[in-house]
A and B are shown apart, each in its own frame.
Chain A
Amino acid sequence: MKRVTLFLVAIFTMASVILNAQDKQVVLITGTASGFGKATAEKLIEKGYIVYGGDIQVEENKYLDKIGGHALVMDVTKEDQVKAGVQKVIDEQGRIDVLINNAGYGSYATIENIGMDELNYQFDVNVFGYARLQQAVLPHMRKQKSGRIINVSSVVGEVSTPMLGWYAATKHAIEAMSDALRMEVKHLNIDVVKIQPGAVKTGFDAVAFAKMEASYIPEDYEELADDFKTYMVDSYTKVEGPRGTADFIVKAVEAKKAKTQYRTTADARLLMKIKDWRSEKAFDKMMSKQLKKGADKVRKNAEK
């Protein structure tokens, strides 16, 4: 009897060691100094994950070390920094279970007027930045024969609107790259998940508006730009913070069988439904009406 008990205890101990080892998954997140990246890092650390967070904003990223995470200095446009960061995780932990590609950036501008340098940089961060991280992490995941890559896209990965065309183009590109990658690594037991938030208060808008202010806008576009700004600045005072989306990202990390994509906000889900139901021309009209009406309403309220 005693032997059986001992045997059972041994089994349970072993099982719990294995389970604990599985619990302590190693996660690498980019863009952890603010927004979705920060909210996700905090949640995962609280849950006991080993979290490495890379960001170009070194000071703002230091909080990670204080709460039990690991801060990495990482500019995702620099291949050597990406490689060094991934190598550090491997040296210290021996593995990377999850990569969350989140570092991103955008500016509001019309297609006609955006500067070529600006759009170059947007693609270098949003699209090729994700690609660099994937390329650095995948050899390790293939060796492990397991892994999950979570790419933060956007609702504008599937729809595109005025003033947001460039940002939407980068997110559309992320969708295509993610879809292809999911098929390419399926036989290697690696999964790829897309996250599609709508408008969320993450600090994104402040940067995007600053870029818009600094850009040249010809007279013809002034009305559109003004409506857009009036409407969007007001909208951003009302939208939710990043924590709700972070919950979905955590879900994508933890799900045994993850969905291929998570739409994380009500506006994202609604917009996709409308887009599916309406013709494209009707959708265009609706968007432009919404912009005009929304802006007029904000202006009226301001007068009061």
Chain B
Amino acid sequence: MSKKVVLITGASSGFGKFTALELIKKGYVVYGAARRIEHMKELETTGGFAIKMDVTSDESVEAGVQQIIKEQGQIDALVNNAGFGSYGFVETTNIDHMKRMFEVNVWGTVRVSQYVLPHMRKQGKGSIVNLSSIVGKVSTAFLGFYAASKHAVEALSDAMRQEVGRFGINVSIIEPGAFSTGFDGVVLDELKLIKAGEAYQPILDSFIPYFKKMYENAPTPEPVVKAIISAIEKSKPKTRYSVGVDAKGGIMMKGMLGDRTFDNIMLGQMKMK
């Protein structure tokens, strides 16, 4: 059996990096894509291939996918992981700034899929794994637009799964809760710069310590890596993998409780009730 070829976006850090290193260890041919190629040294020294790719650019994505096809002749799995979280209140967040987040999290996921899918259709097989989040299923104060981008990823993944299943292509969604990947540091720095305005300052003031505490106790990302690899390796993977106690619990609670009760619990946790 020939080695499976995997493309992972956002492979320079977080879940993408950990997944890439684990797959290399398992003998996969791994292409890690990221804007900052200099951050993928470890990936290269352990036997992977680093590609400079900006998921918001057609030329960049096309060139990257072309390169893999030229060198390997196939792409067996795509892990759409590139993305970032930008927080803020619905009223006070700059819309252009939010659009940039959608460009990466939502349109980026689709752009890479659009270039990879024709090859997978030709092959008659393939797996696509889209990184969503617990906030792809539940939304809460201060995370509105980030949650909106992940909700959008859920919807397009659901449609994609139903559209390409007939070609032998699997689509799975990964919904991690809070894991320590270094992501929280970036967010905290950003939070301190936010000017919420008088009306919203109380939420922000209670959100920052809440967020800090959540990440201080957050587990390391191995379970997420395991879920991604399971989605790639299984011939019949699950449609979605909720990973982490908080993700499983949050999604279940939201399904069981009414919106108002759920709101109160979330605001209560942030001491805003």
Interface of A with B (CB < 8 Å)? 79, 110-114, 116, 119-120, 123, 127-128, 131-132, 134-135, 138-139, 142, 156, 159-166, 168-177, 179-188, 218, 220-221, 224, 260-261, 276, 280-281, 284, 287-288
Contacts and interface: CB of A to CB of B under 8 A. Distances in A.
Given A128-B99, A172-B154, A183-B263, A177 B144 contact: yes
Given A159-B158, A168-B156, A174-B148, A182 B263 contact: yes
B259 A182 contact: yes
B110 interface: yes
B263 A131 contact: no
B151 A132 contact: no
Contacts of B110: 111, 114, 119
A171 B142 contact: no
B163 interface: yes
Contact of A131 (B95, B139, B154, B260): B95
A172 B90 contact: no
Given A165-B159, A260-B259, A128 B98 contact: yes
Given A135-B91, A171-B155, A175-B139, 5 more contacts: A123-B102, A161-B159, A177-B90, A183-B272, A186-B267
A145 B55 CA distance: 43
Contact of A176 (B91, B99, B147, B266): B147
B163 A134 contact: no
Contact of A116 (B91, B107, B113, B138): B107
Interface in B102-116: 102, 106-107, 110-111, 113-114
B27 interface: no
27 contacts: A111-B113, A112-B118, A113-B114, A119-B110, A128-B95, A131-B95, A135-B92, A160-B155, A161-B159, A164-B159, A165-B156, A166-B156, A168-B158, A169-B106, A172-B152, A174-B148, A176-B139, A176-B148, A176-B150, A180-B90, A180-B142, A183-B263, A184-B141, A184-B144, A221-B163, A284-B165, A288-B162
B149 interface: yes
A112 B113 contact: yes
Contact of B111 (A116, A164, A179): A116
Interface string B256-273: 001110010011000010
Interface string B193-209: 00000011011000000
Given A128-B99, A280-B240, A260 B258 contact: yes
B139 A112 contact: no
Contact of B90 (A165, A181, A280): A181
B148 A127 contact: yes
A135 B93 CA distance: 9
Contact of B139 (A169, A179, A281): A179
A175 B254 CA distance: 13
B158 A160 contact: yes
A271 to B, nearest CB: 13
Contacts of A284: 161-162, 165, 239
B228 to A, nearest CB: 18
A111 B166 CA distance: 14
Contact of B58 (A116, A135, A173): A116
A177 B149 CA distance: 9
